[in-house]
Amino acid sequence: MGLQREETLLLDRQYQLWLARERHAFDRHEAKKRVDKLQYRPLISLLVPVFDPDRIWLEGALSSARAQLYPHWEICAVDDGSRRPHVRRLLHRFAARDSRIHLVISERNEGICGASNRALRMARGDFIAPLDHDDQLTPDALLDVVETLNRDPSLDLVYTDHDLIDERGRRHGPFFKPDWSPDLLLSLNYITHFSVMRRSLVDRIGGFRLGFEGAEDFDLFLRLTEASSRIAHVARPLYSWGEAPTSVARHPDVKPYAHEAGRRALQSALERRQIDGNVVDGLGAPYRYRVKRTIGGAPSVSIVVASCGDGSRLDRCLRSLERYRGTTDFDVIVCRLGDPSRRSALRNRAAATVPGDHLLFLDDVVEAVEPGWLDAMLEHSQRREVGAVGPKILASDGTIASAGMTLGVFGVAGPAFAGVAADHPGYYDLARVIRNVSLLTGACMMIRRTTFELFDGFDQTMDGAEDLDLCLRLREKGLVCVYTPYAVTRQQAVVRPPLAGELQRRAATLGARWSPLPPDPYYNVQLTLQQCDFALKTRRTPVERGLRRQRLRFRRYFIGKGLELGALHDPMVVDARFAVVTYVDHLTAAEQRVHFPELAEYPLVEATVLADAQQLPVRDASQDFVIASQLLQQLPDPIGALIEWRRVLVPGGLLFLAIPDSRKTRGRSRARTTFAHLVADHGDGGANTRPSHYDEHVAATALPDGMDAHEYARRLMVMKYGISLHVWAPEDIHDVLVHMHDTYGQPWKVVRWLEPRRSDEFFVVLRK
């Protein structure tokens, strides 16, 4: 619990920064211009059932509605027999202020379903939006929704992200939701309160059903999404769920009847959809459910075990299959991978020889650890709309190795919740509920035989990314991938995550077919692509923000016309009143995303000039400054680069360098580059020493499993993966500057030399 509390505090700090950025970026004048541009302006009826709220909550809800920038709304408020005198006084006061507020007073309490239906009968809008009496909308909530409707007027349901708000008005606990996820809605009501629905459709399905109080919105969403698939999601928290004393937001156990009502709503949905199964309580928190489907007939499963030749590992895997055999009939075939590059071909060939109705692809490093794991996948694999199913995979150290895969993480894909404790709920319990995912790992994945054959199995050209590619092809044809936490497996040994070079190779492989990679609909755009734990996206890590502050000290040096070389995602801040920068790189931004998949989350600088930093297509003495941050150490001939950069500078022009300090980086385990080495590199352009640099880099990092160090170094070199070829401390740069003066007659004057204690790079400003 202590760890989860720390995570909650970290998320809260991140969210307060996110809210501060949103407030800073919000421009009311620009928002009103957005209203003026709307072609479609439907009336939206806010349904507000009211029963004895505290003054602060009701006033906040009604005030937030009146503050909407989109003007075409009405409030249909029903006082459901409130006993507290301030409630009716407040309602009448607001109704007197604004003719768009319509009020009905009931002398007896009908319950939230009855009151909501009365509000629904009052509604005149094309769309209705339930709003609890303790919810608060952001000023642009309806505007964002109506802009979505303008992009697609056929939509029947638009839902949004939300957060919580306390009595002091402090927002926290954001839920950045996935796009429409039908299996997630069968596990929990992730849509919740404020959402905008087509009134005619709500009328047609019968409105709010009596008897489902506490889960009335959940029951409505289940019925509505059976009638329409025209659903959209606005990926911003547009309403805050009030933490009133009687609210589930504050005390999840305060309404035990609501959990049972949710279970009954789900069971009713199964009956309407003619799904054979039953609803049981889910893992952990209340309001989490498991739809446990009955396996139809007597399907058989063929397990295709891929083995890399470790006999003990394979034996342990096979023994676990027998130990947790269960009731499902299965057979096993072992596919021995002598050549890892033929993995797809060998798996396809093995799958063609086995008889099972369903195929389970399994790496020999994965073992079964709980009964019922096979049935838990099979109950979803049998569904016509499902393409593939994956389990919860635990790591050998007791953490989660994968709870489904997230597309786009690290530029390619990453295992959801990797590295958190095995019993950790994950972000809003997503690690322990059945949900849709974009991708599944081929280390343990089940698929119907007919589907596998229809899609021609794994693509043999997608080396190392064949499982990801298959999932993308399945989804392209309208099938879904499902993660279930009720099937649990475990890796027998430590399986290291892929290193940057391997990620780059996978990105290039997938990019050949899926360029650009589509966004992950089940992963909110506000969440980071640099971690696997669904953390909130922040512009920069604390370290990066520290570097930015350090570099801001040099802003005053950049005056006139200049170049920045290899800016990537972190261009130098200059004063646009005094400086004009031309960006130079040897790759386009699209190529950079493939070459540096770890930067996928960041906006990348698009180069104005495509050129090698050591061969600039720029006239002599034409630039007032040159900026080279974190670049000099990556070039094969640093001395030649300094000569080239000096060539393009006017007399008195400035060169800015930001260079890693090997005493503070991972490079400290490598030998510092000698002066003689640099001179030799200048003689042959670095050709002779390049292989040894990659060997040194690989020796200082972790290797992918089963990969020879020399082979991996050659692979990175062929890919031209960017590494620090040279390792320096500040005094080494002094030696280079002296050598340039004495040997080449090219003196530099040191204008500024800074070695910050709290930075792993040092900064140099040189004048020609």
Q: Which fold has domain 15-281?
A: Spore Coat Polysaccharide Biosynthesis Protein SpsA; Chain A (3.90.550)
Residues 222 and 269: their CA atoms lie apart, in Å, by 7
> Measured in Å, how far apart are the chain's first and last C-alpha atoms?
59
- The contacts of residue 449 (CB under 8 Å, 6+ apart) are 302, 351, 356, 357, 358, 359
Q: Which two tokens stand for residue 153?
A: 């007027």
Q: Which two tokens stand for residue 278?
A: 């039953």
How far is Cα of residue 759 from the mean position of the Cα atoms in its chain? 28
Q: Which two tokens stand for residue 594?
A: 């493939």
- The contacts of residue 130 (CB under 8 Å, 6+ apart) are 46, 47, 116, 193, 194, 195, 217
Strands 101-106 and 73-80: parallel
- Domain at 296-513: CATH code: 3.90.550.10
Q: Identify the pLDDT of residue 42.
A: 98
Q: 């928190």: which residue's tokens? A: 285
Q: Are residues 53 and 91 in contact, defined by beta-carbon separation less than 8 angstroms?
A: no
Most distant pair of Cα atoms in the chain: their distance: 97
Residues 761 and 629: their CA atoms lie apart, in Å, by 10
How far is Cα of residue 381 from the mean position of the Cα atoms in its chain? 26
- In order, the DSSP letters of 185-208 are HTTS--S-S-EEEEHHHHHHTTSS
Q: 């000698």: which residue's tokens? A: 674
Q: Which amino acid is at 731?
A: E
Residues 108 and 103: their CA atoms lie apart, in Å, by 15
Q: Identify the pLDDT of residue 667.
A: 62
Residues 602 and 558: their CA atoms lie apart, in Å, by 25
Q: Is 288 helix (H, G, I), strand (E, B) or coil?
A: coil
Q: Are residues 116 and 47 in contact, defined by beta-carbon separation less than 8 angstroms?
A: yes
Any idea what DSSP says for residue 724?
A: -
- The contacts of residue 83 (CB under 8 Å, 6+ apart) are 52
Q: Is 514 helix (H, G, I), strand (E, B) or coil?
A: coil
Residues 394 and 494: their CA atoms lie apart, in Å, by 10
Which residues does the chain have with pLDDT short of 70? 1-10, 246-254, 340, 495-504, 538-550, 593-595, 597-601, 666-669, 700-707, 719-722
> How buried is 482 (Cβ within 10 angstroms: 0-12 exposed, 13-18 middle, 19+ buried)?
buried
Residues 136 and 249: their CA atoms lie apart, in Å, by 13
Residues 46 and 597: their CA atoms lie apart, in Å, by 44
Q: Are residues 257 and 214 in contact, defined by beta-carbon separation less than 8 angstroms?
A: yes
Q: 């030799």: which residue's tokens? A: 680
Strands 73-80 and 157-165: unpaired
Nearest alpha carbon to residue 145 among 34, 15, 33, 26: 34
Q: Are residues 271 and 250 in contact, defined by beta-carbon separation less than 8 angstroms?
A: no
Q: Identify the pLDDT of residue 703.
A: 56
- Element (H or E) spanning 508, and its range? helix 500-513
Q: Identify the pLDDT of residue 538.
A: 66
Across 343-443, where does the E strand assignment appear? 358-363, 366-368, 386-394, 400-402, 405-407, 413-415, 435-437
Q: Which two tokens stand for residue 603?
A: 């906006």
Q: Identify the pLDDT of residue 626.
A: 97
- 3-state SS, 451-497, equals HHHHCCCCCCCCCCCHHHHHHHHHHHCCCEEEEEEEEEEEECCCCCC
Question: Is the fold of 15-281 the same as that of 296-513?
Answer: yes
141-154: burial string, b at 16+ Cβ within 10 Å, e else:
bbbbbbbbbeeeee
Residues 316 and 367: their CA atoms lie apart, in Å, by 7
Whether the ω angle into residue 516 lies within 30 degrees of 0, i.e. cis, is: yes
- Element (H or E) spanning 144, and its range? helix 141-151
Q: 């972790």: which residue's tokens? A: 702
Q: Are residues 164 and 171 in contact, defined by beta-carbon separation less than 8 angstroms?
A: yes
Question: What angle separates helix 216-227 from helix 111-122, to the nearest 10 degrees?
Answer: 50
Residues 768 and 748: their CA atoms lie apart, in Å, by 5
- 3-state SS, 248-286, equals CCCCCCCCHHHHHHHHHHHHHHHHHCCCCEEEEECCCCC
Give the CA-trace dihedral at 672, 677, 681, 683, to 10 degrees. 160
- 3-state SS, 312-326, equals HHHHHHHHHHHHCCC
Q: Identify the pLDDT of residue 247.
A: 64
Hey, where are the domains in the chain? 15-281, 296-513, 542-689+725-767
Q: Identify the pLDDT of residue 650.
A: 96
Mean pLDDT of the chain: 89
Q: Identify the pLDDT of residue 544.
A: 42
Beta carbons within 10 angstroms of residue 755's beta carbon: 14
Residues 220 and 208: their CA atoms lie apart, in Å, by 6
Give the CA-trace dihedral at 502, 508, 514, 519, to 10 degrees. 50
Q: Which two tokens stand for residue 49?
A: 């059932």
Any idea what DSSP says for residue 569?
A: T
Residues 622 and 643: their CA atoms lie apart, in Å, by 15
Residues 484 and 571: their CA atoms lie apart, in Å, by 43
Q: Identify the pLDDT of residue 3.
A: 43
Q: Are residues 392 and 440 in contact, defined by beta-carbon separation less than 8 angstroms?
A: no
Domain spanning 542-689+725-767, CATH architecture: 3-Layer(aba) Sandwich (3.40)
